[in-house]
Amino acid sequence: MLRMQGVAFCACIMLTHARAVGQTSANQPVMIAPEQIVAETLRHSYAIKAIEEDVAAAEARLKQARAQSLPRLNADARASQYAGLKDSSIGPAFTIPAIEGRYGAGISINQPLYTGGKLANQKAAADAQKQSAQKNQGIAESGQILQALLAYWTWSKAYYSGASLEAAVARMETHARDMANMYASGLVTENDKLATDVLLEQTRLQRENAEHRLQLSLARIQLLSGVDLEERSMPQQPVVNTNIMQLDQAALFAVALTNRLELSAAHEEIRALLALKKIHRADFLPQFSLTARYENARPNIMNIPPRDQWDDDAFAGVAVSWNLFDWGLTRAKVDEANTRSSKAKLMIEQLQEQILFEIREARLSLKTAGHRLEVACRAEHSARRNLETAASLWRNGMNRHLEALDAHAKLIQAEYETISARADFLLAQVSLSHAIGTLNRDHYFNEPASASASTNP
């Protein structure tokens, strides 16, 4: 729904870059595309950077789990000097010499043979945690894209509302000057002149409020993207198509079940918890490992009696361990893993209900925004004709001046409603795309964008 047209996007980026490198005058506006703000927001986001570290940590845990099943090679050495030792004997023919200097070095290898599935499930749990972390990264990116687009189109609404009110102020200032001249000539009453001045000041107040909203929207964009836009920066006008195809709620929910990364991440968490349960259950089973060692020592304690000379030895064997009784510790760990996996399944059900609500809400908002836009456009057209008619009748003395002023006020409000409705329609589209899970980096961009060419960091 939100995929941009590639040709238009490329043209916008090229135009912005050309203006930024000096092919335009310093006072000419610089058009900023929504893709640029989105790209800078993704680059700047601390939340995304933090989750990238989580992904790296999950990758490291997966490497640790893989290493657990590989042979472990260890080397050691020792040197010691004793004092006060004396020769000892056992019987007349067996003497143990006093050897005060003792040295040795060895190398050993240990390879797990059977762990009851513990090592395999450690790798499965680590892989699920890594997949979950990657899904969370996509979730964070989607959220940042949503925030960036909301900020951008709010800026657009404030910018073009301000431009419309600026034109309205200029229109009212011209009318107020005419009324002042006519009042000085005795052609209108003081009440007509004062009513004009009141509407002029009200329009100026609306313009100041629009400027306030504009500055707030720019501050929001700076917070999200880390970019302080130039004063001559301007957003795109909302261009909407109200004749978009609207899928029914069931079809949208089916799309969300496939694309919402929150669901995928939750399933990966369940996979990790199930693997954890198997890891704990493996403690009920015997553990076998292969051990081999080579050592060279002086004296070698494997020689009886020991000799004050370098001797080597080697051995290989199978070690077995079996936890026969641990006061229910292993059973409690398994029960905890079962409980946590059951809780995770409940959270998935709750998440599905939340997603269904978001789709229903976004779909309704989009439908309402489309109807509101159609009505606002008709109202603006009628307000323009009404002003033309009221002004003509007043100039010909066929109606009161207050009716002409009322027509001015209605046009000002109608223009604002149309601009606001266009932006709100796009915001509703963005919200629906986020609700069904298609608002992500791959679906949003046809090609990379950067705001660095046309913005001041």
- Does 316 lie in the same domain as 243? no
- Does 395 lie in the same domain as 300? no
Q: CB neighbours (10 Å) of residue 100?
A: 11
Question: The tokens 């500055």 sit on which residue?
Answer: 215
- Does 361 lie in the same domain as 316? no
Q: State the number of CA atoms in the 13 A half-sphere of 377 facing the CB.
A: 10
Q: Is residue 110 part of a domain?
A: yes
pLDDT one-digit tens code per residue, 26-42: 578 889 999 999 999 99
Non-local CB neighbours of 257 within 8 Å, separated by 6+ positions: 263, 352, 355
Q: What is the pLDDT of residue 93?
A: 66
3 state SS of 229: coil
Non-local CB neighbours of 159 within 8 Å, separated by 6+ positions: 214, 217, 234, 235
- Does 200 lie in the same domain as 341? yes
Q: What is the pLDDT of residue 91?
A: 67
3-class SS string, 197-208: HHHHHHHHHHHH
- Helices and strands in the chain: count of H runs, count of E runs: 10, 8
Tokens of 201: 């000041």
For the domain that residue 138 is a member of, what is the CATH number? Answer: 1.20.1600.10
Cis peptide before 448 (omega within 30 of 0): no
- Does 162 lie in the same domain as 17? yes
Q: Is residue 92 part of a domain?
A: no
- Does 59 lie in the same domain as 109? no
Q: What is the pLDDT of residue 224?
A: 94
Q: Is residue 129 part of a domain?
A: yes
Closest CA to 423 of 378, 379, 372: 372
Lowest mean pLDDT among 91-105, 131-145, 214-228, 370-384: 91-105
H or E element in which residue 315 lies: strand 311-321
Q: CB neighbours (10 Å) of residue 248?
A: 9
pLDDT one-digit tens code per residue, 174-223: 888 888 888 888 888 888 888 888 888 988 998 899 899 999 999 999 99
- Does 63 lie in the same domain as 166? yes
Asked whether the predicted pLDDT for residue 2 surpasses 70, the reply is no
What is the spatial distance between Cα 206 and Cα 192, in angstroms, rounded to a whole number?
21
- Does 407 lie in the same domain as 316? no
Q: What is the pLDDT of residue 453?
A: 32
Nearest 5°: the CA angle 70, 75, 77 is: 165
Q: What is the pLDDT of residue 90?
A: 72
User: What is each CA distance from 279 to 110, 115, 218, 343, in whole angstroms?
Assistant: 20, 9, 52, 19
Asked whether the predicted pLDDT for residue 7 surpasses 60, the reply is no
User: What is each CA distance from 389 to 103, 171, 399, 406, 448, in whole angstroms?
Assistant: 111, 16, 10, 12, 50
Q: What is the pLDDT of residue 191?
A: 87
Lowest mean pLDDT among 13-17, 284-288, 308-312, 431-435: 13-17
The answer to whether the CB of 159 falls within 8 A of the CB of 235 is yes
- Does 380 lie in the same domain as 303? no
Kindly indicate the confidence band of residue 46, based on its pLDDT and cuts at 50, 70 and 90. very high
Last residue of a domain, one of 306, 321, 336: 321
Strand order in the sheet with 101-114: 72-81, 101-114, 287-298, 311-321
- Does 345 lie in the same domain as 299? no
Q: Is residue 199 part of a domain?
A: yes
- Does 158 lie in the same domain as 30? yes
In the chain, the percentage of residues whose pLDDT exceeds 70 is: 89
Closest CA to 361 of 427, 275, 447: 427
Can you tell me the mean pLDDT for 159-177? 87
With the C-alpha atoms ordered 242, 245, 248, 253, is the resulting torsion angle positive or negative? Answer: negative
Kindly indicate the confidence band of residue 9, based on its pLDDT and cuts at 50, 70 and 90. very low
Asked whether the predicted pLDDT for residue 402 surpasses 80, the reply is no
Asked whether the predicted pLDDT for residue 51 surpasses 50, the reply is yes
- Does 63 lie in the same domain as 127? yes
Q: Is residue 451 part of a domain?
A: no
pLDDT one-digit tens code per residue, 107-129: 999 999 999 899 999 999 999 99
Range with top average pLDDT, 94-103, 208-217, 387-396: 208-217
Q: Is residue 453 part of a domain?
A: no
Non-local CB neighbours of 132 within 8 Å, separated by 6+ positions: 58, 265, 268, 269, 272
Q: What is the pLDDT of residue 82?
A: 86
pLDDT one-digit tens code per residue, 258-272: 999 999 999 999 999
- Indicate whether this model's pTM tops 0.85: no
The domain total for the chain is 2
H or E element in which residue 81 lies: strand 72-81
Last residue of a domain, one of 267, 302, 321: 321
The domain in which residue 78 lies consists of: 72-83+97-114+287-321
Can you tell me the mean pLDDT for 14-25? 39
Positions of E strands within 189-310 = 233-235, 287-298
Share the mean pLDDT of the chain. Answer: 84
Nearest 5°: the CA angle 235, 239, 245 is: 140
Asked whether the predicted pLDDT for residue 385 surpasses 80, the reply is yes
Asked whether the predicted pLDDT for residue 243 surpasses 80, the reply is no
Last residue of a domain, one of 321, 343, 368: 321
Q: What is the pLDDT of residue 246?
A: 67
Tokens of 77: 């050495």
Question: The tokens 């980096």 sit on which residue?
Answer: 441
Asked whether the predicted pLDDT for residue 21 surpasses 70, the reply is no
